Amino acid sequence: MSVLISSVKKGSLSDISGIREGDFLVSVNGCEIRDMLDYGFRTSEEKLEIIFERDGELHRRKIFKNPYEDLGLCFDEFLMDGQHSCKNKCIFCFIDQLPKGMRPTLYFKDDDERLSFLFGNYITLTNLEDEDVDRVIEMKISPINISVHTLDPLLRCKMMNNRFAGEKLSYMNRFADAGIEMNCQIVLCPGVNDGEHLDFTVKGLFEMYPSVRSVAIVPVGLTKYREGLPKLREFNAEEAALIVDRIEGFSESFRRRTDIGFVYLSDEWYLKAGRDLPDEEYYDGYPQIENGVGMISKFRTSLDDLLDGVKCNSSKRKTHIITGELAEGFICECVEKIKKRFNNIDATVHVVKNEFFGGGVNVAGLVTGGDIMSQLSPEKVDGDLILIPSSMLRSEGDLFLDGISLKEVEKYFGREIAVNDNAGEFLSAVTGR
């Protein structure tokens, strides 16, 4: 494949060599360029042979440079060969449970090892071939985040509806032998990959330590849109408590042998089971925080540290905090801590039930703008400020999952909505400091 060069930095090595905007990069030292990882790796050498195309003719340039010196070529796309989509049909896939009419980008299932390295996305390995694994090893793309779900090959094929899903697990051994580090996740489904299957998987992954650095276990999430999909149910409180006991037993055993817990439960398990969440030390530096593992502990610790260092004075302030059903108790706990330090604070927590997705969806990050407006009236939410977590909005900070904009919700309530991303922003919004 050839890649369009969108611009060339003036005075750069490429500019001096006569490479121009609009040319097509064909290869570097005989290797095609599929993405910017390829480009950065191949052009880091001191001696380069660049082949490019102009007006249908191939041109060759030899360039001698310092290691890692920039060539000066610019491209419009980071992934020149496109984003790799998922080939599986997992029985628990959340995207398959989305209602119709949402933003098109929400329906795209990525399964791209490059995004795993760059942005922490999880991959299933079913998109990889031997040459892809060779490339990961050669370029030392590490760590890789892998959705394992089970180490039983036949069960993995069944869960992912992909006949190659079991055999692709062998790539983990190749990564381990090459020193590529991995973080793993297990989406746990009752009656499917729990019980003895879970024990087998956790023990098997621990045998790959330290190449496998951590394992997160998250519960299956189900919406009301499951027509035509496999029959699944969610864990109840009693079952969640048993999972907590089971995994904490493993964690304690692993910690005695390695000084880390290795396997961690997402916060949902503790909240569903009505258990206290572990302290910060349990999470060993939060290797799986993007998976919802330890988010509450980190927030609580940060808030406590901030409250220890603030003066207890504040102007009178009325704030309304919007959250989902699952986090209600924790957010109320945070508000009470703040009120004890600031006498003039009037903060009310509003819980929004997720009617948009339905099912058992109750996390704050999936609350929609439409549900907020349908369940809370402007008269009920008066005062200085409305506060929501950043997880309710897409990365640009402007839209809820149902496509309703933050500005629309602000207009509905007739007041500003603050978005908090951490304990410091939460405290500042509530206190006005």
**Topology at the third CATH level for domain 95-292:** pyruvate-formate lyase- activating enzyme (3.80.30)
CA distance 296 to 125: 30
Residue 407 has pLDDT above 90, yes or no: yes
Q: Are 283 and 293 in contact (CB under 8 A)?
A: yes
Can you tell me the distance from the alpha carbon of 134 to that of 114, in angstroms, rounded to the nearest whole number?
13
User: What's the whole-number mean pLDDT along residues 28-51?
Assistant: 92
Query: Is 64 a residue whose pLDDT tops 70?
Result: yes
Average pLDDT, stretch 267-292? Answer: 94
CATH 3.40.50 region(s) of the chain? 300-431
CATH 3.80.30 positions along the chain are 95-292
Q: Indicate the average pLDDT of the chain.
A: 93
The secondary structure of 382-400 as a DSSP string is: -SSEEEEEGGGB-TTSSBB
Q: In what order do the strands lie in the sheet with 212-219?
A: 144-147, 182-188, 212-219, 263-265
Confidence band, pLDDT 50/70/90 cuts, at residue 432: confident
Structural contact between residues 234 and 219, judged by C-beta atoms closer than 8 angstroms? yes
Residue 60 clears pLDDT 80, i.e. is over it: yes
The domain defined by 3-74 carries CATH number 3.90.1300.10:
no
Please give the pLDDT value at position 270. 97
Contact 426, 420 (CB under 8 A): yes
Residue-wise DSSP of 204-236 = HHHTTTTTEEEEEEEE----S--TTSPP-----
User: Where do you find CATH 2.30.42.10 in the chain?
Assistant: 3-74
- Least Cα distance to 261 among 299, 298, 216 occurs for 216
Report the predicted TM-score, pTM, of the whole model to 2 decimal places.
0.89
Distances (CA, A) of 131 to 85, 137, 171, 346: 18, 10, 11, 60
pLDDT in tens, 253-269: 999 999 999 999 999 99
Please tell me whether residue 258 adopts helix, strand or coil conformation: helix
Residues 164-209 have pLDDT tens digits of: 999 999 999 999 999 999 999 999 999 999 999 999 999 999 999 9
Q: How much is the average pLDDT of 373-391?
A: 92
pLDDT at site 433: 73
> pLDDT tens digits, residue range 96-134?
999 998 888 888 888 777 777 776 789 999 999 999 999
Q: If one looks up domain 300-431 in CATH, what number appears? A: 3.40.50
pLDDT at 312 over 90: no
